[in-house]
Amino acid sequence: MSSINGAAIGWTVIVTALFCGAVLLTVWRVGQWLLRRERAWNDALGQIMAATVQRRNREQTLGIILEQSVKTLGAYSGTLHRTCGDGTEYELAQAVNVDRLDWLARVPADDTLVDRVRTSSGPALSEAGRLGARWQALDVGREGGVAALLLRAYGSMVLAWPSAQIAERHVPAMQAIQRYAEQVLAEFVELEARAADIQALSDALNRHERLSRTAAHDLANKLAAASSLLELAVEGEASGSLATHLVEQAKEQLSLSRPLLDELSDPERQIELEPLQVEELIRLAAAMVARRRREAGFTFTVDVEPGLPAVWGERLAVLRIFDNLLSNSIKHNAQQPDLRVWLSVWMEGDNIVFAVDDNGAGISGQARSQLFEFGIRTDGTGKVRGHGLGLWSSRRLVEAMGGQIWAPTDQRQGASFCFKLAAVVTSGASEGSTCIEDASPVSKVAT
């Protein structure tokens, strides 16, 4: 009896051992199968990551991810759609093995597949036959399997296989690809944000440099004007009263230099408008070119409509504009015989127009379109050269005072520049005009 029990126990042990061995073998085989699948998914993701190491831009990188996903996962076809405008539809960005691109060029947001992927946390699976005629362009037949990924910062990616079972097997790999694609998109968003910050900083620095350079440019002109007036006062040709007048004008020019020094430390200062008397502005503008008129021997004419009201502006800003325009007429026509320069002022509607004209070499049509750009300087030949600041500075100042500046195109000879500012009063101006011709270097200063 004991021998029978011993045999039964032995067989039980053997059967149990065999059973456990079979279970262990099955577990081992399942584990190996899972490892192979995991390795395959990792290999697929690794190939995709390797292919997108050099990320030039968002579109190109996502296109590579699509191509590599189709290749490594054995998909038949695939598409990449980006969100349009307000998100009511998606437009085709790239396609692989899709012949009928027009079918998928535009996909509305209420499309069956799009609606599923928008409400899914992972890949949205479906049989191709349930998606409608549009997705037949994937060419996998009604039994084909389609998986869509939502790329939240961009749009969606769709892959198609010959059967729904094959598509389902690749869900874990697609989840990994989805995470990687969204990580790439997040990196592009961060890079673009940093690039925008850098660009904003660069623009601010460039603007600061431009304003500082124009302030220094205009400051040099003011100091030169003051120096010219003082030299005229001490040359011995002026009487005591005239010499005193010249010194007072020089002091006025020097007083205008102080705000420009302040502007060097604060280039973004705000222009404050106030009523300005036109007669005073013209007198100071004429004083700026006192010595230049004497040395160059050109004719300077001031033509001011009488009875003009005050004008809204900033005293320093208006004089800087006059200085730039008058200096250009003189500088660019240094070799012009019998040079004439006009400074004219008249009422036009609710504005007062100031104009500086000369009979010099003029400006070519080709150069005219670049006149008010930063760093552009033109001469009578129409050549663009140098690092001009005056006209760019003048445009900035005029526009800051709410006015406009332009170069008339109907000028047959010489150059002409006009700018207009709002008048303080728009009624009561007298008709007619008064023309003041300079008779001598001394009388020029007086005008």
Place of tokens 């690039």: 195
Confidence of residue 440 (pLDDT cuts 50, 70, 90): very low
Most confident of 2-6, 41-45, 237-241, 391-395: 391-395
C-alpha–C-alpha distance, residues 406 and 404, integer Å: 7
pLDDT per residue as tens digits for the range 276-309: 999 999 988 887 776 667 666 788 889 999 999 9
pLDDT per residue as tens digits for the range 136-175: 899 888 889 999 999 877 889 999 999 989 999 888 888 8
DSSP assigned state of 123: P
Q: Which of 15-19, 181-185, 381-385 has the lowest mean pLDDT?
A: 381-385
pLDDT per residue as tens digits for the range 53-75: 666 788 888 888 999 999 989 99
**Percent of the chain at pLDDT exceeding 90:** 21
pLDDT (mean) for 234-252: 63
pLDDT (mean) for 4-15: 66
C-alpha–C-alpha distance, residues 65 and 46, integer Å: 11
Identify which of 332, 338, 310 has the alpha carbon closest to the alpha carbon of residue 391: 332
pLDDT per residue as tens digits for the range 321-375: 898 898 888 887 877 778 889 999 999 999 999 999 998 877 766 666 677 776 5
Residue 31: partners with Cβ closer than 8 Å, 6 or more residues away:
none
What is the torsion angle, in degrees rounded to the nearest 10, for the CA atoms of residue 3, residue 4, residue 8 and residue 14? Answer: 50
For the chain, list the domains and their CATH numbers.
58-194 (3.30.450.40), 271-446 (3.30.565.10)
Q: What integer best gives the mean pLDDT of the chain?
A: 76
Q: How far is CA 203 from CA 191, 311, 374, in A?
A: 18, 33, 13
- pLDDT over 50 at 96, yes or no: yes
Q: Which of 13-27, 302-316, 410-424 has the lowest mean pLDDT?
A: 13-27
C-alpha–C-alpha distance, residues 220 and 266, integer Å: 17
pLDDT (mean) for 26-52: 58
Q: State the pTM of this model.
A: 0.47
Contact in structure between 377 and 332 (CB atoms under 8 Å): no
Tokens of 426: 């728009």
Predicted local distance difference test score (pLDDT) of residue 129: 87
